[in-house]
Amino acid sequence: MKQMKYFPLSVLVMMLSTMPFTSCVNNKQATATVSAIAQQGVVPDFMKGIAGVEKLQTKIDYSKPQNWRAMAQEATKPVDVFFLYPTVVGMRTPTEICDINDSAMVAGIDWVMRGEVSVFAESCNVYVPYYRQISLPMPGMDHAAINKYMSQFDATDALDYFLTHLNQGRPFILAGHSQGSALIINLLANYMKNHPEAMSRMVAAYPIGTSITKEWLKQTGLKFAEGPTDTGVIVSWDTEGPGNKNAFSIEVSPGEVSINPINWRRDETYAPASSNLGSINFNTGKMAIPGIADARLDTDRGVVVVTTADSTYALPSYAAPLFGPECYHLYDYGFFYNNIKQNIADRIAAWMKK
């Protein structure tokens, strides 16, 4: 079990740049004008200082297979998954929008495929588009506006191509992690809202590792999962240790909600590690059964608290000012890998019985 804590340094640095910062400024005006700005090709103020913004005015041709990291050649399963990966391009100065063939991004996605996307593979036909992601936005930037702006380009184009040409009317799951999840929630609030027929076929959305708040749910009219088999819902959580209680973390927003990924409850009922079906080793892809993590929902803070994992699984101490002393963001998927896999199968089974 000790070997599980040794996370590749390169991936650690990449993943540190995935955190969806919560904007500290009033974003209503920026949010209202983002779509028009994107269409006009005008760089909005909140994107200035970010290198490579002009790249977004060139569309990615998602009809080309090389622009997909995974595109099921045969749809042998009744349900698809459309997955957006977390940031893997690392910390850059200045903050940068990467190219579609960025070497760090292409290499980093290999880990994501093994440690996160694979959880869907038994139940779903897998579709993972390459998208030009942004390196770490610095404190002080309007991160909420940046995420919304970015979501209107590659993420929207890829989803539209997937639904129009690849999905063929099958039920599907939308999923991601961290930056990918931040894009997914914007797609849910915008693209999917404007495509009700597609929304009617969504088994569930798993935007794990981004902040889902009561206010966002109210604004969008979307429903958060209440149990293990409800469908058409949002399934998400942020993972912390008890050392983060009352600590500042850019991972945690006021009014945040999560679900316990072991017992799939929304209350504070404790789930022991003995109930964890298996945690994945990031380096090797091997399983530890039972899993190493317990889980209890802190309903006040809106996060999942793990007490049985060694504190070395937390982000390193230099990240504590931003994430608190025990942020387990890197293990949002890994701690609960087999439980997520089973839950995906259970929600699909419930969907098929409708």
pLDDT tens-place values along the chain, 354 residues long: 334 443 443 344 444 433 333 333 333 333 334 444 455 567 888 888 888 898 998 999 999 999 999 999 999 999 999 999 998 887 788 888 999 999 999 999 998 999 999 999 999 999 999 999 988 777 667 777 888 898 999 999 999 999 999 999 999 999 999 999 999 999 999 999 999 999 999 999 999 999 999 999 999 999 999 999 999 999 999 999 999 999 998 889 999 999 999 999 999 999 999 999 999 977 667 899 999 999 999 999 999 999 999 888 898 888 888 889 999 999 999 999 999 999 999 999 999 998
Cα maximum dimension of the chain: 55
Residue 265 burial (CB count, 10 A): 17
pLDDT computed for residue 44 by the predictor: 87
pLDDT computed for residue 354 by the predictor: 83
Residue 55 burial (CB count, 10 A): 16
Domain residue limits at 183: 2-352
User: What is 197-256 written as a DSSP string?
Assistant: HHHTTEEEEEEETS--BHHHHHHH---B--SSS--SEE----EE-GGGTT---TT--TTB
Phi-psi region of 353 (alpha: psi -120 to 50; beta: other; left: phi over 0): alpha
300 SS3 class: coil
pLDDT computed for residue 4 by the predictor: 44
Identify the bridge partners of residue 97 per DSSP, sorted by sequence position: 134
pTM for the predicted model, two decimal places: 0.90
Structural domain tally of the chain?
1
